[in-house]
Amino acid sequence: MSLSIALAGKPNTGKSTFFKAATLADVEIANYPFTTIDANRAISHVRTQCPCDQLSARCGYCIDGVRFVPVELVDVAGLVPEAHKGRGLGNAFLDNLRQSEAIINVVDASGGTDIEGNVLGTCSHDPLEDVRLLENELSLWIAGIVKKNWLRLTKRVEPRAAIIDFIAAQLSGLNINEHHVKTACIKLGLLDKQPASWSEEDIVTLAHELRKSTKPIVVAANKKDVAPRQMMERVTQACKDAVPTSGAAELALRLAHQKGVTDYVPGNTHFHIIGQANEEQRRALERLQHFVAQAGTGVQACLNKVVFDILKYIIVFPVEDENRLSDKEGRILPDAFLIKAGQTTRDLAFKVHSDIGKGFIYAVDARTKKRLGEHHVLEDGDIIKIVTTSRTK
């Protein structure tokens, strides 16, 4: 599993609660700054419809036709202003974002915490400041890396291509490559200028463009269960990729299901109380029933938005027997792979195992039994058999 999503935000936004709700990992949750010091890593899931729901064979790996596919979620240290200068836990915060493909910025949409994460007691802080805080800190961090050795290099190197290579080398640890840098430079018109004449503003603007293309951010407008409507609307109207969420509600539902009290499935907008609950618990669950009926808790929707809408992943199901839709042990649809939209059958073969990729001969669409070549572009929900010379798997 290679897909990693970072969970970021200032202290006291409900970030650790969101993380626990999404993973059920055992993490500390407390109402004070820097509850998270070292990054927490755990497995969360994205939700999709399982193909077996439309077929005669049932896989045993889904819940009423709902399949959950694992992704890594990284809960990083709380963000404060000037983190890029090392303030707070800034260095640890930023380093933990390096290998993540996208970031969920958990924002206190209630406005109940100031820019430092201190509890106000009133809903008076503008949550859009928190949205801008993360964007600015990331851009300034990237700019700081680019500026290292900049003067020495621009005195020595004239060709613009060398500058692209230099910037990409400086940022390789952030999964930023030459293509990203060249595309951003062309968009900003920087290749029309000699690198020695680039201003600090040019470098910061370039860093901002690189951040947008390589570290996209989805805003989790959190605490929607307590946020004033005008505060929530302020975030969702200003941020096209914002998702209203309640990590606290999702966590309560996940824990209730874990104890056998409810039949809640993450992402559903309904559930039933099926186990023993005292009167107080039952009233709380009934309030939650009313709450999730409006639009769910938003936690699963946020994860799905990142993976499917922003990062453009699809899910493909490799099998060994295209007739039984099973592996060699007879298990039906045991595997579900996240791959980038536009990838091919051969890409899938390498994803399953490098030896299978090297020995790829052709693939078979298990639904149509049609033979597929190595350049066939896969679609979401495909069930694929790979024919290979390799004996691996």
**For 118-146, how does the pLDDT look when each residue is reduced to its tens digit (9 = 90+)?**
899 889 999 999 999 999 888 998 998 88
Residues in the chain predicted with pLDDT less than 70, given as ranges, are: 1, 26-38, 80-95, 152-161, 390-393
Q: Give pLDDT, residue 92.
A: 57
Q: Give pLDDT, residue 151.
A: 74
Q: Give pLDDT, residue 156.
A: 59
Classify residue 375 by its DSSP letter: T
Q: What sign results for the dihedral spanned by CA atoms 115, 116, 117, 122?
A: negative
Q: Give pLDDT, residue 391.
A: 58
The whole-model pTM stands at 0.90
Q: Give pLDDT, residue 149.
A: 76
Strand residue runs (E) in 225-292: 242-244
Q: Give pLDDT, residue 104.
A: 97
Q: Give pLDDT, residue 57.
A: 73
Q: Give pLDDT, residue 197.
A: 86
Fold of domain 4-124+216-306: Rossmann fold (3.40.50)
* CATH architecture of the domain with range 314-388: Roll (3.10)
